[in-house]
Amino acid sequence: MSRLLGGTLERVCKAVLLLCLLHFLVAVILYFDVYAQHLAFFSRFSARGPVHALHPAASSSTNCSRPNATAPSSGLPEAPSARPGPTAPILPPCPDSPPGLVGRLLIEFTSPMPLERVQRENPGVLLGGRYTPPDCTPAQTVAVIIPFRHREQHLRYWLHYLHPILRRQRLRYSIYVINQHGEDTFNRAKLLNVGFLEALKEDASYDCFIFSDVDLVPMDDRNLYRCGDQPRHFAIAMDKFGFRLPYAGYFGGVSGLSKAQFLRINGFPNEYWGWGGEDDDIFNRISLTGMKISRPDIRIGRYRMIKHDRDKHNEPNPQRFTKIQNTKLTMKRDGIGSVRYQVLEVSRQPLFTNITVDIGRPPSWPPRG
């Protein structure tokens, strides 16, 4: 009987010992788990300020068991924190028909127009004349190219009217003023080629190019400065032509081409020095490549021109009619691939980017007899 009781008591003691050991193991596990939680909690506070190592010898390595641990600086650029930061909101696409458009506009050129006033009126426009809508994502990135020389007053009026129009149209755009250096004969089309190339050097994402004379202002903001499936002619009804096209093949004033369309016609001709002819050559290039010109409704394609005296260095090119007839022969060799120029200065102004270039001198023309 005593032997039976002794065996039972031994088994009970072993069971109690095993329970004590199990309790001890559970307590150890819980202790280290709570310790790790406290350590992670306090490390978040210490990460906000500079970390002072208590033991310099141990501070040369990172404790990889803690994701928020920081290593001392090694003089190299630090990697970004692994902790997720605030993400930018995903904006919806900009609407095809922007809701804030006004329609017909009153355009006048009699009031003084200092650049300071234009800058105050357009606080959302960034340095260099760049703008991105804050509430939607545009489908295109637009570069507006202006051939320029000695038209400062015209430029101020143009900026005064066009920046608000382009902003209401919900465009992501930049303004480039391509300024011809010197007093030699003006070359509009060559300056436009330069603007195309220089804009892409600054931002390769441009996929739409609007080419605009500095003295033309649209009279309706529903004339959207966008590119489509075909080259676009915007200025189809100027006041100086009685608000109608002067002739069916006219492509002057303001036009728009996508990057692919511009390259398809080899850009614009470089050999039209002086006034006239280059827009007809561009029209021929578009026709020869099988594309068709799209135009807005004449009710919204109206433009006002700022009156000015003709530049004495922008006289009509006496050879323009002969060149126009030979577009098919010249367009492959004369264009964006053959343009030669030298950039003299790039100046980012509050409302536009000014690029001053030397485009060379025209060839000598034989005297007209």
What whole-number distance in Å separates Cα of residue 235 and Cα of residue 217?
9
Catalytic residue among 168, 181, 184, 275: 275
Per the annotation, the verdict on 219 as an active-site residue is: no
Q: Which helix (H) or strand (E) holds 174?
A: strand 172-180
Number of H helices and E strands in the chain, helices first, is 8, 11
Catalytic residue among 220, 221, 279, 334: 279
CA count, 13 A, side-chain hemisphere, 190: 24
Per the annotation, the verdict on 108 as an active-site residue is: no
Catalytic residue among 38, 299, 308, 333: 308
- Look up residue 345 and give its DSSP letter: E
Q: What is the dihedral of CA 294, 273, 197, 231, to 10 degrees?
A: 10
What whole-number distance in Å separates Cα of residue 12 and Cα of residue 42?
45
Catalytic residue among 198, 220, 278, 281: 278
Catalytic residue among 149, 160, 167, 215: 215
Per the annotation, the verdict on 116 as an active-site residue is: no
- Look up residue 57 and give its DSSP letter: G
Beta strand 254-258 with 216-218: parallel, antiparallel or unpaired? Answer: unpaired
Per the annotation, the verdict on 279 as an active-site residue is: yes
- Residue identified by tokens 């499936």 is 229
Per the annotation, the verdict on 215 as an active-site residue is: yes
- Look up residue 4 and give its DSSP letter: H
Per the annotation, the verdict on 222 as an active-site residue is: no
Which tokens hold the place of 122?
């357009």
Catalytic residue among 202, 239, 305, 313: 305
Catalytic residue among 156, 167, 213, 281: 213
What whole-number distance in Å separates Cα of residue 180 and Cα of residue 361?
11
- Look up residue 137 and give its DSSP letter: B
What whole-number distance in Å separates Cα of residue 124 and Cα of residue 138?
16
| Total length of the chain | 369
Per the annotation, the verdict on 310 as an active-site residue is: yes
Amino acid letter for position 361: R
Catalytic residue among 11, 120, 310, 368: 310
CB atoms near residue 73 (< 10 Å) = 9
Beta bridge partners of 342: 358
**Which residues, other chains included, contact 302 with Cβ-Cβ below 8 Å and sequence gap of 6+?**
218, 219, 220, 237, 238, 239, 243
Per the annotation, the verdict on 358 as an active-site residue is: no
Which tokens hold the place of 213?
């004379």
The answer to whether the beta carbons of residues 275 and 310 sit under 8 Å apart is yes
Amino acid letter for position 17: L
Amino acid letter for position 55: H
Which of 215, 206, 198 lies closest to 355 in space, CA to CA? 198
Catalytic machinery residues: 213, 215, 275, 278-279, 305, 308, 310
